[in-house]
């Protein structure tokens, strides 16, 4: 595995650990619960990726940093959180921080998942699938433990952004520009997710005609 892979793995772990910690704090969990959500979010997707690739034990369990990094992140986020005066303005900023960290984690883990599937006999399908699985796996575990509908099922341009990033990475890689592939994939996910958040992009929602008319008549 290359330096860029370890770099994105590190970035993704911290970013998802932050988002997991923030979900735990929003659910008023104790420090143990916050740490658990931080760990699940940070390593859940990577564990799924490693299992699909036949890597056992998963990489998260091979070095102390795999679990210590999200634990330390959870402690830091919790320490900063108790210093806040929760006003309306700060709630808005907390929402922005969550969206940024979750998007960066999705993009980084999409890259690490896709990179592990490159170079095999199954071009595009395996890397893209691993990218999506790694990107959304930890978030699904986080949301289920927090007793809420997984974000991947609520936000339309989420798994789609991960899939697009994985395919873009593959296209650049197989075109011969291997040194740029990971950064292209990372950038595509970021652009699509931040674009969806800012502009409210949605996929098509199939609905009966009567419901569509009633919805269009609302202010």
99-151 pLDDT, tens digit per residue, is 999 999 999 999 999 999 997 777 789 999 999 999 999 999 999 999 998 98
pLDDT at residue 219, rounded to an integer = 39
Taking the alpha carbons at both ends of the chain, their separation in whole angstroms is: 53
pLDDT at residue 64, rounded to an integer = 84
Q: Could you give the angle at the alpha carbon of 25 between the alpha carbons of 29 and 155, nearest 5°?
A: 115
pLDDT at residue 119, rounded to an integer = 77
In this structure, are residues 142 and 86 in contact, taking their beta carbons and an 8 Å threshold? Answer: no
- At residue 205, what are phi and psi to the nearest 5 degrees? -110, 110
- At residue 146, what are phi and psi to the nearest 5 degrees? -85, 5
H and E: helices and strands count for the chain: 9, 0
pLDDT at residue 205, rounded to an integer = 74
pLDDT at residue 216, rounded to an integer = 46
Whole-angstrom distance, CA of residue 23 vs CA of residue 20: 5
Range of the domain at 52: 3-216
pLDDT at residue 188, rounded to an integer = 97
Which tokens go with 108?
């980084």
pLDDT at residue 218, rounded to an integer = 46
Distances (CA, A) of 120 to 74, 123, 153: 37, 7, 30
In which residue ranges of the chain is pLDDT below 50? 216-219
pLDDT at residue 217, rounded to an integer = 43
| Backbone angle region of 203, left / alpha / beta, with phi > 0 → left and psi within -120 to 50 → alpha | beta
Into how many domains does the chain fold? Answer: 1
Q: Which of the 8 DSSP states describes residue 63?
A: S
In this structure, are residues 184 and 190 in contact, taking their beta carbons and an 8 Å threshold? Answer: no
């Amino acid at each position: 595995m290359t330096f860029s892979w370890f770099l994105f793995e590190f970035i993704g772990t911290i970013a998802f650990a932050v988002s997991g910690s923030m979900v735990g704090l929003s659910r008023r969990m104790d420090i143990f619960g916050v740490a658990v959500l931080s760990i699940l979010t940070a390593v859940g997707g990577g564990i799924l990726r490693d299992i699909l690739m036949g890597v056992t034990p998963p990489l998260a369990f091979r070095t102390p940093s795999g679990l210590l990094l999200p634990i330390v992140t959870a402690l830091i986020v919790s320490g900063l959180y108790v210093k806040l005066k929760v006003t309306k303005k700060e709630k808005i900023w907390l929402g922005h921080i969550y969206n940024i960290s979750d998007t960066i984690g999705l993009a980084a883990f999409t890259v690490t998942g896709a990179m592990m599937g490159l170079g095999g006999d199954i071009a595009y399908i395996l890397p893209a699938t691993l990218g999506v699985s790694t990107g959304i796996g930890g978030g699904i575990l986080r949301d289920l433990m927090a007793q809420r509908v997984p974000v991947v099922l609520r936000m339309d341009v989420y798994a789609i952004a991960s899939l697009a990033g994985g395919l873009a990475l593959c296209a650049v890689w197989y075109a011969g520009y291997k040194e740029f592939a990971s950064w292209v994939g990372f950038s595509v996910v970021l652009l699509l997710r931040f674009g969806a958040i800012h502009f409210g992009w949605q996929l098509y929602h199939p609905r009966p005609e009567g419901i569509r008319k009633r919805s269009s008549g609302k202010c």
